[in-house]
């Protein structure tokens, strides 16, 4: 991960461990709605498809995927872009 959650100010942590596609992305979308542009969401997941799904979601919606780490348990850091949802 380029930036760790320790070096960033994480506004909200979303725990979607145990949920399979498409729930991690859907819950991430809802969580991002509650943040202001520029705030950082930390997502904890166990679904290996979350890497592909969250990358695509961020690219499509204008949010910045700062990075991710982990294998069995994944951690993602997403900075909310200036777009709604």
21 classed as catalytic: yes
Which residues, 6+ apart, have CB-to-CB distance to 51 below 8 Å? 68, 74
Which H, E and C letters describe 15-38, residue by residue? ECCCCCCCHHHHHHHHHHHCCCCC
Query: CA neighbours within 13 Å on the CB side: how many for 73?
Result: 5
Residue of 8, 21, 26, 35 marked active site: 21
Active site residues: 21
């Amino acid at each position: 991960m380029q930036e760790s959650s320790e070096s960033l100010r994480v506004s909200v942590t979303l725990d979607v461990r145990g949920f399979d596609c498409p729930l991690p992305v859907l819950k991430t979308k809802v969580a991002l709605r509650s943040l202001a542009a520029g705030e950082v969401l930390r997502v904890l997941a166990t679904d290996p498809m979350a890497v592909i799904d969250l990358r695509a979601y961020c690219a499509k919606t204008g949010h910045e995927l700062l990075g991710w780490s982990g294998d069995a348990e994944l951690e993602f850091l997403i900075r909310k872009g200036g777009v709604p949802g």
